Structure 1
Amino acid sequence: FKEERKVLGVKMCEFASKELDVDHISVDFASSFFKNIFNANEKFFEKATLCTFAKTHEYKCGYVDQNGIRYDGASKLNEFIQVIGSIASKKKFIGCAKWHFREKNYRYLTIPNNVDLELLEIMFDKHFYHPRGIDFEKDESDIIEECFTIRPNSTRSDEFPFLHKVGDCIVKRIVKKSTACPVKFYYIIPKNLKECPFIVTISIGQHNHPSPPS
């Protein structure tokens, strides 16, 4: 049978580099253009993770137990086992250092999808937060003059964690969505994948946006 899917397009900074105003039908991973996009994506996840790490240390649980004692424990990276049907998986969240499994009414923070979880774990394990240190959201030592950041349209956030230089001003800007991409993908899937373990992918059209890094 045949399955049709549409391309969702991408999100780009409203001050994106003019080089990103291109179409594509193929991707040259060795080109300097794609490397700029890839490096910007890596920087995006790193910056978002540092901002999240800083914000977690401003978080206070505020949980009051049955004895009227208010919990003011520091933030900590915790995990729990989520079971869906017969599949169990570990889920990370940011919660109170005094949290105990099965206790309720604690406050917690979910971890955004734009966070590098491995880097966040390293930050919690090996680094200390200094409230009078660098404000990662307002750190002007890492200002971007030409933005190559590209995000999928499916991402929830409409804000980039970067400062941009616009004329004599330094600003933080939101992202803009690209227009709908005209490309369609068709998947030809055999009725019995065990007997014929192959799927044919057909792409029709030309992407009206640059390729995202992943």
Structure 2
Amino acid sequence: MNAYIYNKIIKLFAYHYHDGLKEGLSQFSGHSRVALIFATGKEAPVHICDPQNLLHGHEPKLKEIYIDSDNWRKNAIYASRQSVLDQPLSEPNLQLAGLISYGGTSRSIFYQMWFTEHHPNICSTGPTERWLEHAVWLMSQDVISAHSVHSGTSGYVLAGYSTRAVCDYIVDLLNVSSGIDMQLPVYQVLNTVLNISNTKEEGQWPKGEISFIEPR
């Protein structure tokens, strides 16, 4: 079973996920590379997919995390038991210099951790983390899907995820500040802001403040 999952993850990453994520993130925040570390089972070895050497220079820290210690494995074993309906439970950012990472544990994939560049000119890492979170979720679903057509579309989904990634991050912040019963249609608001920002008025780009009222 582990060999089957391993082969499917490698194929998904090589043919769909890598190019989709790289394309979408590069358009969003500048040239970006993508890497993945995963394990198919609680006793399985760690595998690295890093075709563009994104993790080069981080080998000592990765060795400390994944080889010299088994804390990541113990945490994943506990988390995988809590997973409901194969929804991945998050693994924290590894805090590697110059990188953004996000991972997850589920019953279909024991452990996965995604990486991309941390561009210094972005105002927040939140949308990128939500992007990687969605990659975790998609991979968990695609691995157990019997229909290859689903996995074939995942790369396109990830390539075009920019607006949704920003929306997901804003929703997370609003849920913390306003509660989960928040009614503001964030995705529609975000699209409105983007459309206004790209529309000139009498030859001038829009400038000023805009307010949105949440219906109650």
TM-score of the superposition, structure 1-length normalised? 0.25
The structure with the largest strand share of the pair is: 1
The structure with the largest helix share of the pair is: 2
Bigger relative contact order (CA 8 A; separation at least 6): 1
TM-score of the superposition, structure 2-length normalised? 0.25
Find the structure with the greater CA-based Rg: 1
